[in-house]
Amino acid sequence: MSSMIKNITNVKGIKCWGAHTGIKSMRRDMALIYSEVPASVGAVFTQNQVVAEPIKLAREYMADGKAQAIVVNAGNANACTGPDGYRGAEAMAEAMGEELGIDKELVLVASTGLIGEPFPTEEITKGIRENVSKLSSKSNAGSFAANAILTTDTFAKEGFLEFDLDGYEVNMAGIAKGSGMIHPRLGTMLAFIVTDAAIEPKLLQETVKEVADKSFNMITVDGDTSTNDVVAVLANGQAENDVMKSEDDPGYKLFRDKLEEMMVHLAKLIVSDGEGASKFITYEAVNAPDEATARALVRAVFDSTLVKAAMYGRDPNWGRIICAAGNAGVPFDYRTVDLYLGDESSQVKVLEKGIPQEYNRNYMKKLLRAADLMIILDLDNGDAKSKGWGADLSTDYVLFNSVYTT
C-alpha cells in the first residue's frame, strides 16, 4: 500500500489496525495500536464523576508512565456496567497483552459507544485475538484505526507532523474522535497521539496535562464531558534523540509546541464535526491578569447557550457575551473591556472600555454570515491570554437532540 498520506503508521516503531469485530454492523469498531518497544505514556482522563470501567483500569495501568499498546472498542462504552464491566476491560488488556507477548499493564484500554449496555467481553476479546496478527505499518492500517474509533462522527480526525528535534528527525501523529452532538449517550472524546521522540514519563505526563488544558479542554460542542474521555500520548524513543528529562533540555520547548499544535489541530477538527453546527467560533481573551482568568472567561462565554444561539442567528448581541463573561466566577470589570466581533480575518470593535461603539450594521451582518467567527475580549489588564473553540447552537442541534430518545 502506498503511503501518500502520512499518519500514525509513519511514526517509527508503530503498527496499528482497525478491525470489524461485529459490535457495530458493517463498520470497523476496534482500533489496535502497538509500539515495538515500551513507550513513555502521558494521559488525562474524564473529569466526570461517573467514570467508565476502562478508565478506572487505565488510571491504574498507566500510573507507572509506561505503555506499549492501545486497544479501543467502539459501540459499547463499558460505562455503568459494574464489576462485570471492569473485568471486561481487564480481559481486553489480558487478551491484547497475551497476543503481543507483553505485560497486560502495558495496555491502555479505552471504550466508546452506548452507556449502560452489558459489555460483550467474549466477542470483544475474540476480536482482539483475531486481529493482533494484522497489525501493520502500512498507511491504510492508519486509516482503518482512525475510522474504527468513530461513533457519530462524520469523518476521521487525523494529524501528522515531522520535525527536527535537536538534530533528530521526530514524527508525531494522532487520531481522535469527537464529542458527538447527536446522541447524548454517545459523546466520548478520544485522542491518541504517538511519537517516536524520547521523553521521560514524568515530564511527558506534565506536558500532556498542560497542553490538553490549552486544547482539548478549551473546546465545546455541548458542554458535557463524557464518562469515557481519554487523551493519551505514547512516546517510544525510536527517534533516538537524547531523552528529554526537564523543561530546560534542548528540544523540549519545540516538542511541547508541536504537541500543542497537534492537540489544537485534533481539537478543532472535533469542533468542526457535528452536522447540527453551522458555525466554527474562535474565542479569545487577551491582556488578562493571568491565564486562569483568561481561560475562565473564554469557557464562560463559549458555554453560554445564549451566545451560541446568537452566533447561529448572526446576531451581534454583545450584551450576551459580556453577561456570560460576568458569570465566569473570576473578577471581571466590563468597564476596562474592549470587545471585538467578526469573522476569522476581520473583527469590528463593538465595545471600547465597556462603552458601545457605533458600527456599520450591514458590514457586521456580512461578517457574521461566515462559517468561521471570532470573538475577542481585550481586558487591558495584564498580558495573559487564552483561546478556545466552539460550535454555535442551531435549530438542527435542538431537533436532533430532542427527537433522538434513548
Residues lying near a copy of itself in the complex (CB under 8 A): 1-2, 4-5, 18, 20, 26-28, 133-134, 136, 140, 143-144, 146-147, 152, 154-156, 158-161, 182, 261-262, 264-265, 268-269, 272, 275, 280, 369, 371-372, 400
Between residues 1 and 355, which has the closer beta carbon with respect to a copy of itself? Answer: 1
**Angstrom distances, CA of residue 392 to CA of 17, 323, 325:** 35, 17, 17
CB of 5 to a copy of itself, least distance (A): 6
Between residues 54 and 142, which has the closer beta carbon with respect to a copy of itself? Answer: 142
Axis-axis angle for helices 291-302, 318-326 (nearest 10): 130
Q: What does the DSSP assignment read for 224-280?
A: ---TT-EEEEEE--TT-PPPB-STTSTTHHHHHHHHHHHHHHHHHHHHH--TT---E
CB of 281 to a copy of itself, least distance (A): 13
Between residues 26 and 167, which has the closer beta carbon with respect to a copy of itself? Answer: 26
Q: Are strands 168-177 and 384-391 parallel, antiparallel or unpaired?
A: unpaired
Count of Cβ atoms closer than 10 Å to residue 342 Cβ = 22
Cell numbers 533516538 label which residue? 240
Sign, Cα dihedral of 10, 91, 131, 120: negative
CB of 269 to a copy of itself, least distance (A): 6
Between residues 172 and 341, which has the closer beta carbon with respect to a copy of itself? Answer: 172
What is the rounded distance in angstroms from the CA atom of residue 277 to the CA atom of residue 144? 26
Question: Which of 360-371 are b and which e, b meaning 16 or more Cβ less than 10 Å from the residue's Cβ?
Answer: eeeebeebbebe
CB of 400 to a copy of itself, least distance (A): 8
Cα–Cα nearest to 389, from 276, 277, 282: 282
Q: Which of 21, 188, 195, 293 is catalytic?
A: 188
CB of 318 to a copy of itself, least distance (A): 25
- Structure-block grid coordinates of residue 182: 447527536
CB of 94 to a copy of itself, least distance (A): 24
Between residues 159 and 201, which has the closer beta carbon with respect to a copy of itself? Answer: 159
> Hey, which residues does 190 pair with through a beta bridge?
177, 230
Angle at 227 between CA 223 and CA 229, to 5 degrees: 75
Question: Which of 167-190 are b and which e, b meaning 16 or more Cβ less than 10 Å from the residue's Cβ?
Answer: eeebbbbbbbbbbbbbebbbbbbb
Q: Are 186 and 151 in contact (CB under 8 A)?
A: yes
Task: Give residue 23's Cα distance to chain centre.
Answer: 24
CB of 265 to a copy of itself, least distance (A): 5
Q: What are phi and psi of 59, to 5 degrees?
A: -60, -40
188 tagged catalytic: yes
Between residues 72 and 269, which has the closer beta carbon with respect to a copy of itself? Answer: 269
> Hey, which residues does 232 pair with through a beta bridge?
43, 192
CB of 284 to a copy of itself, least distance (A): 16
Q: Are 171 and 262 in contact (CB under 8 A)?
A: no
Between residues 63 and 371, which has the closer beta carbon with respect to a copy of itself? Answer: 371
Q: What is the largest CA-CA distance in the chain?
A: 69
Between residues 22 and 326, which has the closer beta carbon with respect to a copy of itself? Answer: 22
* Residues marked as catalytic: 188
